[in-house]
Structure 1
């Protein structure tokens, strides 16, 4: 079965590619491109995919049938005015990449002595502007979901992950001009475009949404209890959450969930800690985020008692029943009196009949 265009590219990357997939830290920004080609038995033409991300927002993709780079968000259309050839130029670059990838599949099958089967060849490259003002850049490749080779822009060399990858390393290092061009791209051109994209999409990319923090509690089977710190509705994705005990960072019996996206573009996550119920008040959830002017510390609090509200509601209902009952019986009494007078009048005349109330 072929891969759907909607399947996450990161799931196909090698281990180190996954580690490089996120932003470098608080207030950092990244520009990343992913390209994947997949060959499967019985499939004449390998499937090719390419996407681009600014931070965690996809802003471009590639229509392989039309051979065109296409926008994925409205703000990228602002480039049309500044650079009319942008789409044509990038479409050509991605198409060239597709052709090179097809050759890489053939070469790698030969390096690994493979014949037939399903195989993938992937590339991830990009740059980052970190919160401390420093910059970073990387370009690496994976074959069949495992690290294959990566580029070191400082030494202009390549690091092969295994023996077959040494073939690619020798071939690429024999062309130093290509390595120099990749270094210039990562350190200069990529950074310039990242800054431009951040300006185009600043309303969504540079916003900060304050996290909402809530601590809940659940009892465990062994007499212990778990405090759960739920943090949601925040943007950007980078957030620092720790449990503290008496003001000191506490790491024992602490578990955490992944930072996951909400449908509105914000994120949510959680941290839990197992504690002795007698000491639960000593623990606090410490949260630091760009959307917060200062870090917050949230402890679990006993819910307010609803007994007073319940008693008030019961008394109110009883009073209401009493009033309604008084009105009802008064109406009944008045009705009977009217009926008695009517009966007496009718009987005395001998011409009328008592009318039921």
Structure 2
């Protein structure tokens, strides 16, 4: 696809940092598979700014596509260029799958195999930067780049040949360092400028607690924080003000379809002690923690009989459709009732569509003459 060095687009290092300095990251994921099928293209590239998908290309589509409104600040020439770049890497990465299969003695054996590449950079809160490059095969680490040395690290003997080739090419190593330390950071700063209104917004979490009783057994309380942004959150269960970390089970922080996040935590307890437990939420953007408790105050519309959620102390974002609320506005509750969610199905993501795909990037990546 032409000379990789021609892809540096001359961004100025004088680009100003956003009001929120970080942490922020720019990451790209390349994936090639040995046996494509319906819904599984042979080659895919996706790009993320922080945790927001903004770029997508796959071998079955018409070209590179925007996945976030702010990236449309780039014009048609940008997208034509990225399509050309991604198509150029498609053949190389499809070949890498076959070569990796040879290294692992899997040639001629039917089955799905994947070869992946992840790279990018980050801007930390203190203004420092860092970069990363990593290759994977069938979900395992294949090769990674140590920016401190700088050398390639091979975690398995199958990658030793590739490591030797990469380390021997000093010109390639210098180009890789230059991209990670300078060019990638310039792109990151530029994209942060495009998406700052979205990425620097602050959305407070709404909280809900549900309970489930096991016949003759313990009660399970599930606390869910929903609709918050950015991703950072500390969600915990307290009994009489003391942390119950050992008894708490967390499901991680998961994305919603609108770009916000949700998280949950459950705890098992003696049903006679349910009134002693509080769900405690802390975030940097909150002046004071949010606390929610499972109550006994009689059925409100949409709640389970006898199961009500209260919030102590106050701020809870208005949910769409809540009487008197408007999208984006905040209402107070001191305490306030929120309809309990049915059951305690805390493990399901609210929007599985965010799990699709893997996307590409506006930058140069070293070509492999076979892995």
Q: Judge same fold: TM > 0.5, yes or no.
A: yes
Quote how far apart the aligned CAs of 1:132 are: 4.6
Unpaired segments ≥5 residues, structure 2: 1-20, 301-371
Q: Counterparts in 2 of 1:58-69, with a 5 A limit? A: 58-64=53-59, 68-69=63-64
Quote how far apart the aligned CAs of 1:143 are: 1.3
The answer to whether the Cα contact below 8 Å between 1:234 and 1:291 also exists between their aligned partners in 2 is: no
Aligned with 1:236: secondary structure?
coil
Select which of 35, 46, 54 maps to 1:51: 46
Q: Does 1:227 align with 2:227?
A: no
The answer to whether the Cα contact below 8 Å between 1:123 and 1:141 also exists between their aligned partners in 2 is: yes
**Residue in 1 aligned with 2:188?**
194
RMSD: 2.8
Q: Which has the higher helix share?
A: 1
CA deviations over 1:30-63 (Å, ceiling 9, x no partner): 2111111112399xxx821111111222111125
**Residue in 2 aligned with 1:211?**
205
TM-score (norm 2): 0.66
Q: Does 1:38 align with 2:33?
A: yes
- Which is greater in Rg? 1
Select which of 81, 88, 103 maps to 1:96: 88
**Residue in 2 aligned with 1:78?**
73
Quote how far apart the aligned CAs of 1:130 are: 3.1
CA deviations over 1:256-312 (Å, ceiling 9, x no partner): 224333333322221111122343333222212355233223333332589xxxxxx
Aligned with 2:100: secondary structure?
helix
Q: Counterparts in 2 of 1:1-357, with a 5 A limit? A: 28-40=23-35, 47-64=42-59, 68-80=63-75, 85-116=77-108, 117=110, 118-303=112-297
Unpaired segments ≥5 residues, structure 1: 1-25, 307-357
The answer to whether the Cα contact below 8 Å between 1:129 and 1:191 also exists between their aligned partners in 2 is: yes
Quote how far apart the aligned CAs of 1:249 are: 2.4
Report which structure shows greater RCO (CA 8 Å, sep ≥6): 2
The answer to whether the Cα contact below 8 Å between 2:34 and 2:98 also exists between their aligned partners in 1 is: no
Quote how far apart the aligned CAs of 1:27 are: 5.5
TM-score (norm 1): 0.69
User: For the structure 1 residues 106 and 305, does the alpha-carbon distance in structure 2 shift closer, same or farther, using more than 3 Å as the test?
Assistant: closer
Quote how far apart the aligned CAs of 1:68 are: 3.8
In terms of mean alpha carbon deviation, does 241-250 or 146-155 score higher? 241-250
